[in-house]
Amino acid sequence: MTDVQLMKASAPAVPGRQGVSIATVLARSEAAIAELSFDWPGSLHELQRWEHGETPLQRWKRARMALETAPPRSVFEGRLADIVEHLKPAQPGQARAMVGMLVDAFPNGRPQNAVAYMESILHDVVDMGFSAVAIAMACRELRRSSRFLPTVAEVVGACGEASAKWRSEHRVVEHLLSRLSEAERSAASPEPEPTPLDSRLAREASAPARAGLT
C-alpha cells in the first residue's frame, strides 16, 4: 500500500458533517457548479432599476411592475441558503478524500514524500476554511486542466478561486434581496398623487395613439 493509499485509508468511511459521505459532497459540488452558471431571468432588470422613475408615481408603478415580473422571495432566499451551505468549512475527512482523489488522478506524478504533500495541502485548505464544495470544485478543475501534479500553492489557489466565486454570488443574491425588499416597501405604500410632470407624460404617451385615429 502506497503512502497516499495509507493516508486515504485513514479517513472515515462516512466522513463529513452529520454523516455526509464524500460521494454526497461530490454530487453536491457537481450540482453547485451547475448552480454557479445559473442566469437570473431578464425580468430582474426592472427590479434593479425601478427607482429610476422621474416622479414618486412612476417609481411606485415601476416597483409594482418589478414585483410582478421578478421571481418570488422564496427563490432568492432558497438560493442564498444554498450558497451559505456551499461556503461552510469542510471537515478534515472530506478534504482528505478529495485531495486523495486528486493525487490518484496523476499516477505518474507521485511526490517524493506523499504524506508531507497531502498533509501540507490538508493543513492549508482546512486552516483557510475552504468549503467541501470549493475543494471539490478546485480538485475537479485541476484534474481536468493540469498535465502534472499541482503544487500546494496551485491547489490552495484553485480553492481560493472557487470560494471567491461563491462569495461573489452571495453578494449578488444579498443585493437582489435588498432590492426586492425596497420594491416591496414602495409598492405597499399608498399610490402617490400625480404631479404636473405625470400629467404631461401621460398626454405625450397618448398623443401617438390619438394621431393614429385621425
Give the pLDDT confidence of 23-40 residue by residue, as tens digits.
565 566 566 655 555 556
What distance in Å separates the CA atoms of residue 69 and residue 127, rounded to the nearest whole number?
A: 43
Q: Rounded to whole angstroms, how far apart are CA atoms 161 and 199? A: 52
> Number of folded domains in the chain?
1
Q: Which domain holds residue 118?
A: 3-213
The H or E element spanning position 167 is: helix 152-188
Q: CB under 8 Å to 76, separation ≥6 — which residues?
A: 173, 176, 177, 180
- Cα dihedral 7, 161, 39, 136, rounded to 10, equals 0
pTM of the complete model: 0.71
pLDDT in tens, 134-166: 998 899 899 989 988 999 999 999 999 999 988
**What are the CA-CA distances from residue 28 to residues 24, 25, 102, 132, 184 (Å)?**
6, 5, 17, 9, 33
The pLDDT, as a whole number, for residue 9 is: 39
